[in-house]
Structure 1
Amino acid sequence: MEGIDLSGVDPTRWPEIRRRVAILDEYCAIPDRKQRSRRAYAKRLGIGEAHFSALAQIWRERRNPADLPGAQARQSPKPANRLPAASADVASDVIEKLGAMARRRDVLIEVKRRCADAAIVPPSDATITNMLTAARASHAGATAFEPEILIGTCAARLPAQHDGEVVLPRLLIAVQLPERVIVGYDVAIDPALEPSVDRLMASVRAATDPAGASLRVRAPHLSALEQAAIGATVPVGRPTGLPTLPQLLAPAIGEVGLVFQFAKAKSADRLARIRNVSPLSERDVVTAIQLAVAAHNARRPRPAPFSLAGQPIVY
């Protein structure tokens, strides 16, 4: 990460924080700092002199990039919650009873049924979905799902540089259940290329243990031919209730947000226009995702050793 520890800094802020650190280091190295030099350096950062003095003091005392203003994404203020407390309590209770990994459809139906029985206004679908997503994000234990390796696709909410354009990197991710540990992934930054199933499976196979329990591989987004090529199981009769990638990973892994419905996602250009956000190099994208996967897995229970059903172990 080019000589400074950027852990704790939002990855979309890395280029700007590197720029600020370089300017602050240059200023702090001046033996006899005067008002004229302070004014010049403040101008380079686009801030006032008083603000710059405070920034330089923070940097001299702590030398921690995560402590610099602009190191974290600024959360949009939430609109006033006009939802009756009783309605919110019903939704919270349903999510607690059905579990954070319950299907969204089941939660919506049960919340509306209970609100109707109590003659109170139900929360909107979006509100219930947000509450369920928050519950999933805070759920650190194992799930009740059957053991398997689930493979799915999504995009990382990172503005990436590619051939003069700003794009969202796409991910192919393999998750071990019931622990929700990520056991393999592949990244594609070029919009003309898909993440590699072969590279993904190579990383999954590298994580196997011959003595581990044999797990099926399920990749519902792949074609029948692609599933057959990697030995993925196609459950008979399209059974309901099988987990999906959004259930397991939304809204983020580590500090990296995920997008599962590409059509509804903010464009990469719009994301890059947010204050203090800059398009990332391919190297930064890869590093950010590596750190995000490590942070995600550190919060999960230790996964059981596994092998792959019907496939040779490759080292």
Structure 2
Amino acid sequence: MEGIDLSGVDPTRWPEIRRRVAILDEYCAIPERTQRSRRAFARRLGVGEAHFSSLAQIWRERRDPADLPGARAHHPPKPANRLPAASTDVARAVIADLGAMARRRDILSEVRSRCENAGVMPPSAATITNMLAAARASLDEATTFDPEILVDSCAAKLPARHRGGVVLPRLLVAVQLPERVIIAYEMSLDTTVPPSVESLAASIRAAADPSGRPLRIRAPHLGVSEQALIGATVLRGKPTGLPTLTQLLAPAIGDIPLVFQISRAISADALVRIRNVSPLSRRDVQAALDQAVATHNSRRPAPVAFIPAGQPAA
């Protein structure tokens, strides 16, 4: 059952969809199915007989896990926007003028200023933030940021099993600019042990090309010893205007939402209370993240060859 194609299934549904497929396969293999067997299998699946018959028919005809009900997350419809169209038009114009990679606070300030000048109510900060995130997610061209590798941390909004509990996987990610390609990442499920800087450094070196151009590594939120371990450039003073991981990756890697402020995130325990969502094994989390990174990178321009700054070119 591990070998079924789950590429179109929400990763948080993988365990439940595997369970459903196993039961449906067993049922469909019965030569002469009766009402009694259908009733028994419906009970095992936890659904009514009519619903089970529908699931069995879908599985017999398509054999695609993504087509089974419950394979994808269903988000409730957003409440109707009560703002005048002029307000959201202003926000869209600001994002277009300043660019999707502009700092959030600059976007918010400019939207409020233009709305005030136009005499219309400005959208809420949350509405503008969502619009900005959508614009960033759809951006498939290189940014105007200087070439570098940014290393920073976040968490994946995936419920993961760890030592009898449920946690959000913590990530340490290396993103190559200006293309926003993820060249490496490390994961930790242990809330007391951060993702390995040493392993990430090794992955960055493995992705390098001796004939490539030198690229600095910037890791603004790592400690001094970790920056040295990863070969990061320590910038003097407090330079402003440099890109952040939130700008580059929010709101998601592929279809996996990211969390940049853990204290404000929904708990992993709350996630598994959602219908059809189950905690994932480490293996499933790794597979889901690998798939998401591949999807993310496929939507970006091909990055140029590089070597970490300070290493001699060929």
CA distance in 2 between partners of 1:86 and 1:212 (Å): 48
TM-score (norm. length: structure 1): 0.97
The offset of 1:276, in angstroms, is: 0.2
Q: Which residue of the partner structure matches residue 220 of structure 2?
A: 220
**Partners of 2:182 and 2:230 in 1: CA distance:** 18
* CA contact 2:174–2:182 (8 Å) conserved in 1: yes
CA drift at 1:190: 1.5
Please name the residue that 2:274 is paired with. Answer: 274
CA distance in 1, matches of 2:308, 2:162: 36
User: For residues 269 and 169 of structure 1, what CA distance do their matches in structure 2 show?
Assistant: 13
Residue 159 of structure 1 contacts residue 268 of structure 1 at CA under 8 Å; is this kept in 2? Answer: yes
Q: Please give the secondary structure, in 1, of the residue aligned with 2:236.
A: coil
C-alpha displacement at 1:312, in angstroms? 6.2
Equivalence for 2:181 = 181
* Counterpart secondary structure, 1:52: helix
Residue 7 (structure 1) shift: 0.4
Cross-structure match for 1:171? 171
Q: Work out the CA distance in 2 between the residues paired with 1:110 and 1:246.
A: 20
Aligned to 2:48: 48
Q: Matched residues in 1 for 2:171 and 2:188: separation? A: 7
Give the whole-Å Cα distance in 2 for the aligned partners of 1:32 and 1:181: 53
* Aligned 8 A contact 1:23 1:41 in 2: yes
Q: Distance in 1 between matches of 2:3 and 2:118?
A: 60
Q: Return the letter of the residue paired with 1:291.
A: Q
Gaps of 5+ in 1: none
The percentage of counterpart residues that share the same residue type is 71
1:246 match: 246
The one-letter code matched in structure 1 to 2:179 is: E
**More deviation in 147-156 or 45-54?**
45-54
Deviations 1:165-198 (A, max 9, x none): 0011100000000000001110101222110000
Residues 57-136 of structure 1 aligned to structure 2 (within 5 Å): 57-136=57-136
Q: 1:312 to 1:273 in 2, by over 3 A?
A: farther
1:148-163 aligned at under 5 Å gives the runs: 148-163=148-163
Q: Does structure 1 conserve the Cα–Cα contact (< 8 Å) formed by 2:175 and 2:181?
A: yes
Aligned-pair RMSD on alpha carbons? 1.2
Q: Are residues 1:265 and 2:265 paired?
A: yes
Distance 2:26 2:241 in 1: 58
1:11 and 1:255 in contact (8 A); partners too: no
Indicate if the aligned counterparts of 2:198 and 2:229 stay in contact, CA closer than 8 A. Answer: no
What amino acid is the match of 1:95? Answer: I
Q: Which runs of 5+ in 2 are unaligned?
A: none
Which residue number corresponds to residue 139 of structure 2?
A: 139
In the alignment, the residues of structure 1 paired with residue 267 and residue 77 of structure 2 have an alpha-carbon distance, to the nearest angstrom, of 21
Distance 2:286 2:202 in 1: 18
What letter matches 1:231 in structure 2?
A: G
| CA shift for structure 1 position 234 | 2.1
- 1:98-145 CA distance string (max 9 Å, x none): 111110011001101100111111111111111001111111111111
- The code of the aligned residue for 2:297 comes to N
Deviation, 1:43, is 1.5
Checking the alignment, whether the CA contact within 8 Å between 2:201 and 2:229 is kept in structure 1 is no
Distance in 2 (CA, whole Å) between partners of 1:105 and 1:257 is: 22
Paired residues in the alignment total: 313
How far is the alpha carbon of 1:224 from its aligned partner? 2.6
Secondary structure of residue in 1 paired with 2:171: strand
Query: 1:248 and 1:8 mapped to 2: Cα distance?
Result: 25
